[in-house]
Amino acid sequence: MLLAALALAGCSDDEPTVAPSGSGPTTSATSAGPSASTSPPSSGTAAPSGTAEPSGAATPTLPPAPSASGTAASCPAGKAGAVNVTGLSSAAAAKARALHTAAKACNGKALIAIATKDGTGFAGERPASATFTASSTQNYTWLATLLTMPQVATFDGSVAPRVFSEDFKENDAEWTAAVNAGLITSAQAADMKKTDGGYTGPRVGIAEDGTWTFFTHGR
């Protein structure tokens, strides 16, 4: 009896008092991996704001047309070459430069002021204000072009183109120069020779004292 009691007591020290469940340890239904909806930790640096995304192709803008005063940022007469003051007096050369600069900028206000001061004559006795307007860009081009050509001395000052003068009215090279400058066409040149007996296209005159004597676009 004593041996049996000791043997039973020794077995109770090695076994748990509650039997373990047959299902074994349970695991949580929550995945151990990172949640797809979990936001990454903020780095603390804010994304730059206020920067506009580049837009598509820019809409092209047309060059401004001459204003009512004749002034324009983009003037067709601006393509004319450099002023030619060969053989002119200092006063005439200064006036030629002033007229050329104003014409190339379609600056009607400046040309009108000079013409008013000098008493300049225009075709058909038209006033300067009716000659240099926002819609008369061809007049600016003719004036600027004329002042790039060599002038010829006359009894009342210098004139361009030279074919207008008695000394050059039969000179074929001067007729060609007027055509090449865009003052007249070949057909107009032939008609002028036949009908008018000489050049009657655009021309300009400047007196030796610097007075702007006349400007006409024809006849």
Residue 161 φ then ψ, to 5°:
-80, 165
| Domain boundaries, given as residue ranges, for the chain | 85-216
Q: Return d(Cα 188, Cα 181) in angstroms, integer.
A: 13
Query: Along the 219 residues of the chain, how does pLDDT read in single tens digits?
Result: 333 333 334 444 443 333 334 444 444 334 444 444 444 444 444 444 444 444 444 444 444 444 444 445 589 999 999 999 999 999 999 999 999 999 999 999 999 999 999 999 998 889 999 999 999 999 999 999 999 999 999 888 999 999 999 999 999 999 999 999 999 999 999 999 999 999 999 999 999 999 999 999 877
Per-residue b or e along 171-181, where b marks 16 or more CB atoms closer than 10 Å to that residue's CB? eeebbebbbeb
Collect all residues with Cβ–Cβ distance below 8 Å to 34 and sequence separation of at least 6: none
Beta bridge partners of residue 95, listed in sequence order: none
Helix segments in the chain, DSSP class H:
2-12, 90-104, 108-118, 128-131, 137-146, 172-180, 186-191
Phi, psi at 107, each rounded to 5°: -90, 85
Tokens standing for residue 134? 């926002």
For residue 66, give the amino acid letter. P
